Structures are given as C-alpha cells and as structure tokens.
C-alpha cells in the first residue's frame, strides 16, 4: 500500500481541529460570547480565560470557536453552491463540446472570471445589506465558474475514451453517461478543487466581515475580531494575533490537505511516487 502524503495528514489534522472546535461550540463554549461583562475586559491569557478576553470582556477562545463555526458554514455553503451549479454546467459543456451551449456556458464563465471577486462581493453585500447569507451568495457565485472549468476539463479527456464509446453503443444518452461514467471519474479532481475553494472561501469570509459586510454582531467572526482588535494592536497585540493565527492555520491546513489529496488521488502523480 502507498503511504499517505505527509501534507495530507498534517492538513487534515489541522482542519479537523477547527472543525471539531466549531462543532463543540454548538453544545458548549467556555463562556457565553453574547454577554458583555465589562468587569472582565482585557484579561490576560491563563486563569479563568484560557486565551484572555477582549475589550468587552468576552472570552477569546469562545469567540474563536463560534467564529470557526461562522467561517466554516459560510465557506462550506459557498463551495456547495459552486459544486451544485458549476459541475452540471461543466458536464453539459463537455457533453456538447463545440456547440452553442458549450460556448454560452464557457463564455459566461469567462464573464464571471473577468470581475474582481472581492469587489463584487462587497458590492453585493453593500446593495443587499450585510449578512452571512449575502456573504455566502457573493462568495458562492465566484465558485461556479471554477467548478465548471474543472469539471469540463476533466470530462473532455474522458469523452474520448473507449468506454464512453461503448456506453454510447449501449444506447445511453449524454445525460446518463455524464452521471454514470464521467462524474465518478472526475470526483477526485472535484474533491481537490473543493478543498482549495473552501480555504479561499474562509479567506473571503474573513475579508468581508473585516470590512463589516459579513456575519453581523453579536455573531462573532474571525474577520471582525481582527477589525475590532485593530485599534488596540499596540497595547494588546494578542487580540489581533489570535484570530489572525486562526485564519492562517485554517487556510494553511486546507491547502495542505488539498495538495495531499491531489497527490493521493491523481494516478499520474501516484505512479511518479512509485
């Protein structure tokens, strides 16, 4: 058996820690994050507050845990939008290669790609009002062309194979072939892409909530924790360092996991590793 790539193990472990923290936060957090107790403000790390408190007396660890929940939820749903809409579009484009439909889908993708994603996301949340849902939509829209391209690219190379021809002589239509033969065989590409898009989603969510267009108070989010810590960065640097570190670690973990999965799932790389 081949060994698992080290980057996969490390990345998956880091991602799992954050996921676990987010899940635990539904049941239990060390301290309530909606309760502002000014008497406890700016406590140092250790003691009753493991990572200390912020200027409103909220427990940093609890906020990070609940913030992880927000980040993961937003990024996950945004990736889901990309997969659910993008993959069928990509498969349809590949199945009708060279047709008008293919052109329309791919040029539509190019159109979305041509917009600077974060600026449009800010526009959307600014027009429709800042909320987690609008952040999800804004990030999700830009995932659609990514998945459509990956799906089309993978599918095109499969359409030339003999087993697809054999399925056609068995009277199967393009829709059925796409579902039965193409989709399972490009699943590995999609999984890898999903991990990468997931990490980009976390970054985008942090950026949106940093400028106040993501999840709204009192729901904590990493981006807003950073923004609120900005004014105190010289006196209490840990307030900014901790959420920043959380973002960096989560994104790093997901990227490493994506890299590792690519190594594991891509048969060409698998052969190269021996």
Least distance CB 191 / other proteins (angstroms): 14
Give the residue among 217, 189, 205 at the shortest CA–CA distance from 251: 205
Span of 66-74, 137-145, 163-171, 222-230 interacting with other proteins by CB under 8 A: 163-171
**Binding of other proteins by 1 (CB under 8 A):** no
Residue number, 47 or 171, with CB nearest to other proteins: 171
200 CB burial (10 A radius; 0-12, 13-18, 19+): buried
Rule CB under 8 A: is residue 117 a binding residue for other proteins?
no
**Which of the stretches 82-90, 105-113, 133-141, 164-172 binds other proteins when contact is defined by CB under 8 A?**
164-172
User: Which residues face 53 on adjacent strands?
Assistant: 59
Biggest alpha carbon distance in the chain? 76
* Closer residue to other proteins (CB): 47 or 267: 267
Name every residue whose Cβ is closer than 8 Å to that of residue 3 and which is 6 or more positions away in sequence. none
Task: Please say whether the beta carbons of 36 and 55 come within 8 A.
Answer: no
Kindly state the smallest distance separating residue 159's Cβ from other proteins, in Å: 12
Q: Per CB under 8 A, does 165 bind other proteins?
A: yes
Give me the phi and psi of 54, to 5 degrees please.
Answer: -95, -170
Q: How far is the CB of 169 from other proteins (least distance, A)?
A: 5
Q: Which is nearer to other proteins, 46 or 171 (CB)?
A: 171
Number of residues that bind other proteins (CB under 8 A): 16
CA distance 172 to 175: 8
Q: Which is nearer to other proteins, 43 or 185 (by Cβ)? A: 185
Q: Residue 209: exposed, middle, or buried by beta-carbon count in 10 A (0-12, 13-18, 19+)?
A: buried
Q: Is there a contact between 193 and 204 (Cβ–Cβ < 8 Å)?
A: no
Minimum Å gap between C-beta 99 and other proteins is: 13
Per CB under 8 A, 171 contacts other proteins: yes
Q: Select the span of 10-18, 108-116, 156-164, 229-237 touching other proteins (CB under 8 A).
A: 156-164
CB 72 within 8 A of CB 16: no
Residue number, 185 or 219, with CB nearest to other proteins? 185
Length of the chain: 274
C-alpha 196/C-alpha 25 separation (Å) is: 25
Binding map of other proteins across residues 174-193, x = CB under 8 A, - = no contact: ------xx--xx--------
Q: How far is CA 161 from CA 4, 158, 186, in A?
A: 29, 5, 14
| CB nearer other proteins, residue 47 or residue 184 | 184
Query: Rule CB under 8 A: is residue 97 a binding residue for other proteins?
Result: no
The piece of 18-26, 69-77, 167-175, 207-215 that touches other proteins (CB under 8 A) is 167-175
Contact positions vs other proteins (CB under 8 A): 161-163, 165-172, 180-181, 184-185, 274
């Amino acid at each position: 058996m081949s060994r698992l790539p080290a980057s996969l193990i490390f990345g998956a472990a880091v991602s799992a820690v954050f996921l676990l923290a987010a899940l635990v936060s539904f049941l239990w957090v060390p301290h309530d994050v909606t309760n502002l107790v000014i008497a406890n403000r700016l406590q140092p790390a250790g003691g009753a507050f493991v990572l200390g408190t912020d200027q409103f007396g909220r427990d940093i660890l609890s906020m990070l845990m609940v913030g992880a929940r927000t980040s993961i939820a937003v990024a996950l749903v945004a990736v889901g939008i990309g997969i659910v809409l993008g993959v069928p579009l990509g498969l349809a484009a590949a199945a009708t290669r060279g047709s008008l439909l293919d052109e329309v889908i791919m040029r539509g993708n190019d159109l979305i790609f041509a917009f600077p994603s974060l600026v449009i996301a800010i526009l959307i949340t600014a027009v429709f009002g800042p909320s987690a849902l609008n952040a999800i939509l804004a990030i999700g829209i830009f995932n659609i062309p990514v998945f459509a391209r990956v799906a089309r690219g993978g599918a095109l190379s499969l359409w030339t194979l003999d087993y697809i021809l054999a399925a056609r002589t068995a009277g199967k239509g393009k829709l059925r072939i796409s579902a039965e033969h193409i989709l399972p065989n490009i699943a590995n590409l999609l999984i890898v892409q999903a991990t990468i898009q997931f990490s980009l989603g976390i970054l985008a969510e942090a950026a949106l909530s940093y400028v106040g267009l993501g999840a709204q108070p009192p729901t904590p989010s990493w981006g807003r924790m950073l923004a609120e810590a900005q004014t105190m960065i010289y006196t209490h640097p840990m307030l900014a360092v901790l959420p920043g570190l959380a973002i960096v670690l989560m994104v790093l973990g997901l990227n490493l996991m994506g890299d590792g999965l690519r190594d594991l799932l891509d048969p060409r790389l698998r052969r190269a590793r021996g």
